[in-house]
Structure 1
Amino acid sequence: MHKIVNTLAVVLSVLPNLPSVTVAAEAAPVPASGTWTDVTPSGVDLVNMLSCENYGSITMVADPARPSDLFTQFHCQGVWKSVDYGLTWSGPINTGHGGAGVSGAGGLAIARGPAGQPPILYSAGIRGTGVGFWKSTDGGASWTNYRVEPGGDRQGFYPPVVNPYDPNHLLMTAHQQCLIVQSFDGGEHWSEVPIADGMKYNGGTSFIFFIDTGLAETTKATWIWTAEFSGRKIGTWRTSDLGRTWKNVDSNEHPHGQMQIYQPDKGGIVFMPGVHSNLGAGVLRSTDYGETWTRVGIAMDQAAVFGTPKRVYAMYAWACGGCLLDPALQSAPQPAISGWARMPTPPEMAIGPAQAATVFDGTNYIILTANWRGGLWRLVE
Structure 2
Amino acid sequence: MYKIVNTLAAALSILPNFSPPTIAAEPVSILGRGVWTEVTPGGVDLVNALSCENYGSITMVADPARPSNLFTQFHCQGVWKSVDYGLTWSGPINTGDGGAGASGAGGLAIARGPDGEPPVLYSAGIRGTGVGFWKSTDGGVSWTNYLVDAGGDRQRFYPPVVDPYDPDHLLMTAHQRSLVVQSFDGGKHWSEVLIADGMKHVGGTAFVFFIDTGLAETTKATWIWTAEASPERRIGTWRTSDHGRTWKNVDTNEHPHGQMQIYQPNKSGLVFMPGANSRAGVLRSTDFGETWTRVGIAMDQATVFGTPGRVYAMYAWACGGCRLDPALQSAPEPAISEWTRVTTPPEMAIGPAQAATIFDGTNHIVLTANWRGGLWRFVE
Same fold (TM over 0.5): yes
Would you say the 8 A contact 1:330–1:340 is kept in 2?
yes
2:361 — aligned with what?
Answer: 362
1:45 — aligned with what?
Answer: 45
1:148 — aligned with what?
Answer: 148
Q: Deviations over 1:273-323 (max 9, x none)?
A: 00134xx31000000000000011000000000000010000000100111
Q: Counterparts of 2:271 and 2:296 in 1: how far apart (Å)?
A: 14
2:302 — aligned with what?
Answer: 303
Q: For 1:59, what is the secondary structure of its paired residue? A: strand
2:276 — aligned with what?
Answer: 275
1:177 CA displacement: 1.0
Gaps in structure 1 of 5+ consecutive residues: 3-31
Equivalence map 1:254-333=2 (5 Å) = 254-277=255-278, 280-333=279-332
Q: Counterparts of 2:129 and 2:226 in 1: how far apart (Å)?
A: 28
Q: Which amino acid aligns with 1:116?
A: G
Q: Deviations over 1:162-213 (max 9, x none)?
A: 0000000000000011100000000000000000000000011100000000
1:33 CA displacement: 5.3
2:246 — aligned with what?
Answer: 245
1:72 — aligned with what?
Answer: 72
Q: For 1:363, what is the secondary structure of its paired residue? A: coil
Gaps in structure 2 of 5+ consecutive residues: 3-31
Equivalence map 1:1-381=2 (5 Å) = 34-231=34-231, 233-277=234-278, 280-381=279-380
Q: Counterparts of 1:152 and 1:92 in 2: how far apart (Å)?
A: 32
Q: Which stretches of structure 1, 4 residues or longer, exceed 4 Å deviation after superposition?
A: none
Q: Counterparts of 2:60 and 2:124 in 1: how far apart (Å)?
A: 14
When the two structures are aligned, how many residues end up with a matched partner?
350
Q: Which amino acid aligns with 2:361?
A: G
Q: Counterparts of 2:36 and 2:189 in 1: how far apart (Å)?
A: 41
Q: Deviations over 1:34-79 (max 9, x none)?
A: 1000000011000000000000000000000000000000000000
Q: Counterparts of 2:33 and 2:93 in 1: how far apart (Å)?
A: 33
Higher relative contact order (CA closer than 8 Å, sequence separation 6+): 1
1:153 CA displacement: 2.3
Would you say the 8 A contact 1:210–1:219 is kept in 2?
yes
1:134 CA displacement: 0.2
Q: Which amino acid aligns with 1:361?
A: D
After superposition, the CA RMSD in angstroms is 1.1
2:24 — aligned with what?
Answer: none
Q: For 1:198, what is the secondary structure of its paired residue? A: helix
Q: Percent of counterpart pairs with the same letter? A: 85
Would you say the 8 A contact 1:251–1:276 is kept in 2?
no
Q: Which amino acid aligns with 1:226?
A: T
Q: For 2:220, what is the secondary structure of its paired residue? A: helix
Q: Deviations over 1:334-369 (max 9, x none)?
A: 110011001110000010000000000000000000
Q: Counterparts of 1:281 and 1:138 in 2: how far apart (Å)?
A: 41
Q: For 1:100, what is the secondary structure of its paired residue? A: helix
Q: Counterparts of 1:222 and 1:62 in 2: how far apart (Å)?
A: 23
Q: For 2:201, what is the secondary structure of its paired residue? A: coil
Q: Counterparts of 2:306 and 2:80 in 1: how far apart (Å)?
A: 23
1:123 CA displacement: 0.2
Please give the TM-score of this superposition, normalised by the length of structure 2: 0.91
Q: Which amino acid aligns with 1:289?
A: F
